[in-house]
């Protein structure tokens, strides 16, 4: 159960520019990504245009898990950006590389198809509904990224992921503005 | 056709402290043939060696990174060829030991065994240079020059299994080994 369970989903959507600023604040300079329709306009396109960020586009999300793992051994902080379908497709790599090897793989995952008036575990969509329980079963810390102000949780969460060498997942419940 | 361990012995003679990311059977043999602190064993899930190597290569452009992939492994992460071709790290050398089988999983043939051209796939994916070796003498004569090329470099080694080496799976996933690698890389 995430710390923000039961939290209101209303209010203005988080700004992509605020997410990017928060990501940079915790020392992330490389983003590994596959396009996700939730974060495409508000996050991935601005990242692609940002000369201060290196964007590595991958063909499949489990590649991204391993690229971030390899980068972590060099002391390079990175972010893996993907859709929840990609997370589901990458479970084995996340299990082995991020969880069992205890590596700071930091992820922002768009919940594609998430209904705005519901919480993820109450989604009508099976694929969305299972994501948080799945992360709980895997022992992966996670939080939601939806409304303005949520970006303030990014740097502490990712800094902590590096400090304790564990993965962390932010679930984008709404499209960033 | 060459024996894989003989190929790795040739490669070991030219190894100058590059990071080596070996997958499965190649890992067992490389550990025995060329034990070295800059061997990265923790690739976790089958097929992921090339992607770990890309991360290492991007994070440490001052270090050369050699992947010792398997053909079955590469088939599980074929998109990584395109990703690597696009990222174009000059310090990445991607070797594939092609024996046509899932050797660690019962020796079953890979799809397309004997028909698929991994060198052709790598070339089409944008690797800067591509080589294919089926003769040990030829490999021995040209490997020094290949190792000096700008990456991404792709090398297919047409191999059969050689001597039996201990399949030390726990070593692949050993936390202490990862800690030693991290420390060695920080010092390199």
In a domain, A46, yes or no: yes
Q: How many CB pairs under 8 A join A and B?
A: 105
Residue carrying structure tokens 């003498």: B137
Q: Taking residues A89-101, what's their average pLDDT?
A: 97
Q: Show residues of chain A in contact with B23, CB under 8 Å.
A: none
B77, B104 contact by CB (below 8 A): no
Cβ atoms within 10 Å, residue B144: 11
A62 shares contact with chain B (CB less than 8 Å): yes
pLDDT of residue B104: 79
Q: Taking residues A27-49, what's their average pLDDT?
A: 97
In a domain, B140, yes or no: no
Among B45, B58, B175, the residue with its CB nearest the CB of A92 is B45
A101 shares contact with chain B (CB less than 8 Å): yes
Rg of chain B over CA atoms, in angstroms? 15
In a domain, B86, yes or no: yes
CA distance A86 to A96: 16
Q: Taking residues B58-75, what's their average pLDDT?
A: 97
Please answer yes or no on whether A60 and B79 come within 8 Å at the CB atom.
yes
Alpha carbon of B136: minimum distance to chain A alpha carbons (Å): 31
**Chain B residue with minimum CA distance to A91:** B45
In a domain, A6, yes or no: no
pLDDT more than 70, % of chain B: 100
A123, A129 contact by CB (below 8 A): yes
Residues 6 or more apart from B17 whose CB is under 8 A from it? B36, B38, B188
Residues 6 or more apart from B66 whose CB is under 8 A from it? B11, B15, B18, B19, B20, B21, B53, B93, B95, B147
pLDDT of residue A4: 59
A63 shares contact with chain B (CB less than 8 Å): yes
A58, A9 contact by CB (below 8 A): no
Please answer yes or no on whether B83 and A56 come within 8 Å at the CB atom.
yes
CA geometry: angle at B67 spanning B78 and B93, to 5°? 95
pLDDT of residue B107: 85
- Looking at every residue in chain A, the average pLDDT score rounds to 94
In a domain, B114, yes or no: yes
Residue carrying structure tokens 């397309």: B112
Q: Show residues of chain A in contact with B42, CB under 8 Å.
A: 69, 97, 101
Task: Judge whether residue B105 has pLDDT over 90.
Answer: no
Per the model's pLDDT, the better-predicted residue between A104 and B168 turns out to be A104
Q: What is the pTM of this model?
A: 0.96
The pLDDT confidence band at residue B103, using thresholds 50, 70 and 90, is confident
Whole-complex ipTM: 0.96
CA distance B127 to B118: 12
Among A66, A76, A96, the residue with its CB nearest the CB of B51 is A66
Question: Which of A30, A34, A66 should be substituted to probe chain B, the one whose Cβ sees the most B Cβ atoms within 10 Å?
Answer: A66
Q: Supply the range of the domain harboring residue B33.
A: 2-134+155-168
pLDDT of residue A3: 52
Q: Taking residues B36-53, what's their average pLDDT?
A: 95
CA geometry: angle at B39 spanning B33 and B40, to 5°? 135
Among A62, A64, A68, the residue with its CB nearest the CB of B45 is A62
DSSP secondary structure letters along A40-107:
IIIIIHHHHH-TTSEEEE-SSHHHHHHHHHHHHHTT--EEEEEEHHHHHHTHHHIIIIIIITT---EE
Q: In B107-135, which positions are buried (b, 16+ CB within 10 angstroms) versus exposed (e)?
A: eeebeeeeebebbebbbebebbebbbbee
Over the stretch A69-80, which tens digit does the pLDDT of each residue have? Answer: 999 999 999 999
Alpha carbon of A98: minimum distance to chain B alpha carbons (Å): 9
Alpha carbon of A60: minimum distance to chain B alpha carbons (Å): 7
CATH code of the domain containing A115: 3.40.50.970
Please answer yes or no on whether B59 and A102 come within 8 Å at the CB atom.
no
B45 shares contact with chain A (CB less than 8 Å): yes
Q: Taking residues A87-98, what's their average pLDDT?
A: 97
Among A63, A64, A96, the residue with its CB nearest the CB of B44 is A96
Cβ atoms within 10 Å, residue B137: 10
Task: Judge whether residue A9 has pLDDT over 80.
Answer: no
In a domain, A11, yes or no: no
Q: Show residues of chain A in contact with B47, CB under 8 Å.
A: 62
Alpha carbon of A109: minimum distance to chain B alpha carbons (Å): 20
- Domain count across chain B: 1
CA distance A83 to A57: 14
In a domain, A53, yes or no: yes
Over the stretch A124-164, which tens digit does the pLDDT of each residue have? Answer: 999 999 999 999 999 999 999 999 999 999 999 999 999 99
Task: Judge whether residue B55 has pLDDT over 60.
Answer: yes
A38, A175 contact by CB (below 8 A): yes
**A144-148, B83-87, B99-103, B142-146: range with lowest mean pLDDT:** B99-103
pLDDT of residue A116: 85
Task: Judge whether residue A10 has pLDDT over 80.
Answer: no
Cα-based torsion angle of the residue sequence A49, A150, A34, B186 in order, rounded to the nearest 10 degrees? 80
Alpha carbon of B102: minimum distance to chain A alpha carbons (Å): 19
The pLDDT confidence band at residue A2, using thresholds 50, 70 and 90, is low
- Domain count across chain A: 1
Q: Taking residues B52-60, what's their average pLDDT?
A: 98
Over the stretch A105-117, which tens digit does the pLDDT of each residue have? Answer: 999 999 999 998 8
Q: Taking residues B53-61, what's their average pLDDT?
A: 98
Q: Taking residues B38-54, what's their average pLDDT?
A: 95
Q: Taking residues B114-131, what's their average pLDDT?
A: 97
CA geometry: angle at B63 spanning B167 and A104, to 5°? 70
The pLDDT confidence band at residue A6, using thresholds 50, 70 and 90, is very low
Q: Supply the range of the domain harboring residue A145.
A: 16-172
Beta bridge partners of residue B69, listed in sequence order? B96
Structure tokens belonging to residue B162: 């050689």
pLDDT of residue B18: 97
pLDDT of residue B161: 85
CATH code of the domain containing B14: 3.40.50.970
Alpha-carbon distances of B162 from A20, B6, B84, B110, B143, rounded to whole Å? 51, 7, 30, 19, 20
B179 shares contact with chain A (CB less than 8 Å): no
């Amino acid at each position: 159960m995430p710390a923000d369970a039961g939290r209101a989903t209303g209010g203005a959507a988080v700004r992509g520019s605020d997410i990017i600023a928060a990501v940079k604040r915790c020392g992330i300079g490389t983003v590994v990504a596959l396009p996700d329709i939730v974060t495409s306009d508000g996050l991935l396109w601005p990242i692609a245009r940002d000369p201060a960020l290196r964007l590595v586009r991958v063909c499949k999300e489990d590649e991204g898990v391993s690229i971030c793992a390899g980068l972590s051994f060099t002391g390079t902080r990175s972010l893996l950006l993907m859709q929840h379908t990609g997370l589901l497709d990458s479970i084995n790599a996340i299990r082995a590389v991020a969880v069992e090897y205890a590596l700071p793989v930091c992820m922002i995952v768009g919940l594609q198809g998430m209904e705005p008036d519901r919480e993820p575990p109450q989604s009508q969509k099976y694929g969305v509904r299972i994501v948080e329980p799945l992360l709980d079963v895997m022992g992966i810390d996670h939080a939601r990224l939806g409304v303005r102000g949520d970006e303030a949780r990014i740097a502490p969460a990712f800094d902590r992921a590096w400090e304790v060498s564990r993965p962390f997942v932010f679930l984008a419940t709404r499209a960033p503005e | 056709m060459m024996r894989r361990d003989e190929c790795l012995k040739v490669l070991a003679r030219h190894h100058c402290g590059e990071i080596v990311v070996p997958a499965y059977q190649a890992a067992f043999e490389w550990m025995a043939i060329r034990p070295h602190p800059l061997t990265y064993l923790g690739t976790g899930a089958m097929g992921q060696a090339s992607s770990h190597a890309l991360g290492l290569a991007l994070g440490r452009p001052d270090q050369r990174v050699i992947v010792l992939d398997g053909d079955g492994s590469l088939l599980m992460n074929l998109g990584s060829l395109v990703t690597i071709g696009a990222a174009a790290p000059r310090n990445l050398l991607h070797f594939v030991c092609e024996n046509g089988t899932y050797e660690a999983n019962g020796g079953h043939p890979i799809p397309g065994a004997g028909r698929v051209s991994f060198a052709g796939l790598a070339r089409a994916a944008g690797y800067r240079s591509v080589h294919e070796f089926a003769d040990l003498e030829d490999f021995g004569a040209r490997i020094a020059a290949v190792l000096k090329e700008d990456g991404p470099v792709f090398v297919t080694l047409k191999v059969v299994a050689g001597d039996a080496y201990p399949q030390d799976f726990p070593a692949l996933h050993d936390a202490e080994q990862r800690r030693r690698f991290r420390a060695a890389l920080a010092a390199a």
